[in-house]
Amino acid sequence: MSPDGAAPSALTPTATASAAEVATYAPAAELLRALASPLRIAIVMRLDDGAQCVHELVDALGVPQPLVSQHLRVLRAADVVTSHRRGREVAYSLTDSHVAHVVRDAVAHSAHSSG
């Protein structure tokens, strides 16, 4: 109850500011959603070492090419990876090192938590 005896409004400036603040986290949530796959994490870890073509990722990860391509599409849509021509092939690389840092920290944290 407010000092005048009225019930507080759900749309007080504090509540509105909090909702606006939460909305600013939507891009981060989308990024984490894009990373929410063990295979996509493995792809990011591989690309942290440098650009690779799909066949290189397939060989390194031991999964079928269509599956790697599907996960690369998700990562591209989330602006985690970018593609560029390397001769007749398309190479993928991380858009920036921040994502690799997040993934490395998550992997280290999970190893520490489970051990």
3-state DSSP of 43-106: HHHHHCCCCEEHHHHHHHHCCCHHHHHHHHHHHHHCCCEEEEEECCEEEEEECCHHHHHHHHHH
- Residue-level pLDDT at 2: 52
- Residue-level pLDDT at 20: 87
Give the rounded percent of residues in the chain with a pLDDT score beyond 90: 75
Per residue in 5-49, pLDDT tens?
A: 555 555 555 556 688 888 999 999 999 999 999 999 999 999 999
- Residue-level pLDDT at 14: 58
- Residue-level pLDDT at 113: 74
Query: Mean pLDDT score of the chain, rounded to an integer?
Result: 88
pLDDT band at 100 (very low <50, low <70, confident <90, very high): very high
Average pLDDT value for residue range 85-102: 93
